[in-house]
Amino acid sequence: MINTLRLLDIMARLRDPVSGCPWDLKQDFASLIPYTLEEAYELADAVERGDADDLREELGDLLLQVVFHARLAEERGWFGFDEVAGAIADKLVRRHPHVFGDAVFASDEERHRFWEASKRAERLEKGKAEPPASVLDGLPEPLPALMRAQKLQQRAAQHGFDWNAVGPVFDKLREELAELEEAHAAGDPEQIREELGDLLFVAVNLARHLELDAETALRASTRKFIRRFQHIERQLAAEGRALADCTLAELDALWEDAKRRERLP
C-alpha cells in the first residue's frame, strides 16, 4: 500500500504543470495507447518465458500505464485511481456470487453464462436504453485479429451457432484450403485475400474447439521459427558463411538439424 501511494505521488509530480517532466506533460489518453499495448504484450512475453524477474518488472510497467491514465482522468475531474480500483473490486464481487454470496453453479458453463449475462446487464446500466443490436457487439476493433476472431466465435457459439464436434472443423479447414488454392490458380488477388482470411478464421475456430488460444499458439510458433532460424545463422557464422551464400536445400538441412536438436533430451 505504501508503494502504491508512492507511485501515485510520483505520477502527480511528473504531471505537475510547473516542475513536471516535459515528456509526461505532453501525453494524453491517445498518445499513451501504443505504450499501454506494448507493455501488455511484454507482460505476456514474460509469462510465456517463465521469467519471474521480467514478470515483476513488466507488471510494474503495465501498472504505470493504469496509474498514468487514471491521473489524466483525475486532472479532468472524471475519476481517480481509487475509483478505478473500487470499480473493478465491485465488479469482481458482483460477478462472483458463488464466492461472495450464496449462489451455486452446477457447471463452468452455467457460471460462464451468468458472467456473460452480468456483462450484458452492466452495459445496459451504462445508459443504453436498448440492448445491443447483435450479440457480437462490444468487442473492440483494435484487438489482435486472431484474438478478436476467437472471441467472436465464442459469442456465436454461446447462442448455438457452432459445430458440436471437432471433426467438421477439420473438414471446413480442408474446404477453405482448397478454395484458396482455386483462387490462387485463378490469379484473382482480391479473391486470394478473401480466401486466405477465411482459412485463418477457420483455423482460429479449430483452436477454439481444441480448447487452445489461437493468439498464444501463434506466438509460440513464431518464437520457434526465430529459435530455429537463429540456429541456422549461428551454424553459418561458425563456418564463415552468410545466408546469401547458401542454397535453399542447404538452409533446409540446417533447419532440420535445428528441429532434431530440439527433440534431444
Report yes or no: 97 and 90 within 8 Å, Cβ to Cβ. no
Tell me what pLDDT residue 132 has: 63
Cα distances (angstroms) measured from residue 149 to each of 13, 40, 179: 41, 19, 20
User: How does pLDDT run across 87-144, given as a tens digit for each residue?
Assistant: 999 999 999 999 999 888 888 888 888 887 887 777 777 765 456 678 788 788 888 8
The tens place of each residue's pLDDT in the chain, 265 residues long, gives: 799 999 999 999 999 999 999 999 999 999 999 899 999 989 988 998 899 999 999 999 999 999 999 999 999 999 999 999 999 999 999 999 999 998 888 888 888 888 878 877 777 777 654 566 787 887 888 888 999 999 999 989 988 899 999 999 999 999 999 999 999 999 999 999 999 999 999 999 999 999 999 998 998 899 999 999 999 999 999 999 999 999 999 999 999 999 999 888 7
Distance separating alpha carbons of residues 94 and 210, to the nearest angstrom: 31
Tell me what pLDDT residue 129 has: 46
Tell me what pLDDT residue 124 has: 74
User: Per the structure block, which three cell numbers stand in for 115?
Assistant: 458472467
What does 26-79 look like in DSSP terms, one character per residue?
H--HHHHHHHHHHHHHHHHHHHHHT-HHHHHHHHHHHHHHHHHHHHHHHHTTS-
User: How does pLDDT run across 240-257, given as a tens digit for each residue?
Assistant: 999 999 999 999 999 999
Report yes or no: 237 and 246 within 8 Å, Cβ to Cβ. no
What is the crossing angle of helices 145-158 and 108-125, to 10°? Answer: 100
Tell me what pLDDT residue 127 has: 64
